Amino acid sequence: MNSQITQDSTSRTQGKRLLLFVVGSLLVANVVQWGVCRALHLGNPGSIKGSLQAFVHMTQGTDSWLPMMKSLDYFHANPTMPIYAAHLYDTLIYSLASLLPLVFLRKLGVGDAAMLHLLALTSWLAVVGVAVISIAMGRRLLRQRGSKMTWTAALAVVLACLGCYPLLKGYALGNAQTLLSFGFALMLYLWTAGREREAGVVCALLAFVKPQYGLLLVWMALRRKWGALWAFVICSVVLLALAVAVFGWRNNLDYIGVLASLSHKAQSHFANQSMFGTLNRMIFNGENLGYTPHVYTPYVAWVYRTTVITSLVLVGVVLLFPWGRLRGSTADIAAMGLASVAASPMAWEHHYGIVFGIFAWFWFAYGCRQSKTPWLWGLAFFLCDNFLGATNLLSNVRGWNILQSYIYFGALLLLFLLMRLARRVSDDAAMELSPGYGAV
């Protein structure tokens, strides 16, 4: 009885602690940052206000939707012409399997306006779904230790989600990444619940929109997660068969060329939170604050090679790291998913929407149990979750403009913390921290 009372008291304390941190993080990023810049006459650094208003009013752009819809229109008008060779619209960078839901909606007679409204609604629900799944995952993790989710902890998750810049940015743009962020959070929940086959299906769906998630299949093979692997493979075969039946072999094979070209195409705009973007901004190669669609950063051999090497190292470290008792765990697969994004030469801010589910898992699995404040976890969260527009004031300052890549570095810090966590897990019981360890 006394033990339960202690558990409940600890849960309430940690819930308040989390809520205080989230509120403080949002205030610093969106109020203090603005106030300091105005007080120093540096101008308005920007905020998440526009993206948040778009979410509240359920309005969004057509960043992903228009290329997908126009690609489908082009195919219907020119069934014998290669889809990826069309130059009527913004570039389609997704596999044709990703168009299958739109094919179904068109079969039902859904017009363009109704389809855009439906996609906006789906994206809106995806953002809400990230919060819901994070809370559900937290409840499961707490229940395993005999604790309960407090209303303060749940409120903290909701507020953090509604203030999560990568999620809101993806929604405001009308980008498919919003759905992928939801899918990644769902995958983490399923993996945590031991439903690895279902998680494998979700991973396959993610990979057919963003091919870099195909690295999860490699991870499953190396970790001998055969149930998840075969679920991934079977789902992939079904999706590919459907795509071939609708669009033909030629159009689907053309996607290989698209992927090959994408490896040499990237932009140095500050929103590209990758090694490629960081290096090019440091040497003032290409655009930074400005953005011109379809204009790619001039090729610099050493930047390209460094990007490739660091990407290989990043992925290799996660795959070969001695995860010990956490090998094959949620921490392990989360690290692989995060590395697949950070290793890409084109990792836009909204691509990091997947980190929200990782942070939620990390906190409820370990952070809320630590005897000391997990400052590094808090720093990583602050960097990944917020829009720190003041860093753009350094865009023309050599060396210091590296700080524009704060989301990228926050993601690398989170990756480090996941691997550090594996080293700190007790040898006595899997998924438990030794009381002697301090903050992760």
The residue among 314, 328, 298 whose CA lies nearest residue 200 is 328
Instruction: Report yes or no on 23 lying in a domain.
Output: yes
- List the domain range (segments joined by +) for residue 413: 2-424
Residues in the chain predicted with pLDDT less than 70, given as ranges, are 1-10, 87-91, 263, 371, 426-440
Please indicate, yes or no, if residue 434 is contained in any of the structural domains: no
Task: Provide the pLDDT for residue 438.
Answer: 39
Q: Is position 435 within any domain?
A: no
| Residue 433 belongs to some domain of the structure | no
Model pLDDT for residues 332-349, shown as the tens digit of each residue? 999 999 999 999 999 999
Count of structural domains within the chain: 1
Residue 238 counted as domain residue: yes
Tell me if 439 is assigned to some domain.
no
In a domain? residue 430: no
In a domain, 437, yes or no: no
